[in-house]
Structure 1
Amino acid sequence: MAAMNGGPARVTREPYGREPYVRARIGRDTVDGKAIAWTRTEVQVKWVDRDGAMRTDWVPAQAVRRISRDESAWRDPYDDYGFYYPADGTDGGPGNGPPAARHDAAK
């Protein structure tokens, strides 16, 4: 992880199950996952690789952009659905998802 001004970088995290979804360029691949921690210069991304294994890596911030939960090719089964899809239909946070009436209707 990066250090700023010779000291440790300040790391920010969201509560478990409420992490923002991101699309990140990692090597030659583009992956959809979650930002589980970040500094001003790096983002720790969690994603599932092609073999189905859960991975995490620190990625330069400029290689990461925020996306909605519904845009993501991978969705964390442990999400706090009320956070991503608030019952009143307002934006509950970084997921920017649709109202609760529309979430996972097929399940």
Structure 2
Amino acid sequence: MSHDSRVTREPYRREPYVRARIGARSVDGKAIAWTRTEVQVKWVDGDGSMRTAWVPASAVRRISRDESAWRDPYDDYGFYYPHGAPGQAPGNGPDAAK
């Protein structure tokens, strides 16, 4: 990663979902940090291990949570589904009682 670039992050549990080309494969995960030229992507590999890597921004595309093959179980559902999760009445999500 370039040290002269400002790093941006979203709040925990609200990171954007992305699809990234890492080497010859494509992974779905979250953008946990980024600069103008690179994105730090977090994803779960085929063995179930959490991985992170800095990837050129040109190899990363933002996707919706529903498009992602992997979904973070700790997401802030109210952020991703402000009008209720698909197939669910608004206000009845996992965080509704908070």
Give yes or no for TM over 0.5: yes
Moved over 3 A (4+): none
The residue that corresponds to 1:100 in the other structure is 85
Aligned residues: 90
Deviation at 1:15, TM superposition (A): 0.2
TM-score by length of 2: 0.85
Q: How does 1:2-81 map to 2 (within 5 A)?
A: 2-3=2-3, 8-81=4-77
Distance 1:58 1:72 in 2: 19
**What percentage of aligned pairs have identical amino acids?**
81
TM-score by length of 1: 0.78
The 3-state SS of whatever aligns with 1:82 is helix
Cα RMSD for the two superposed structures: 1.8
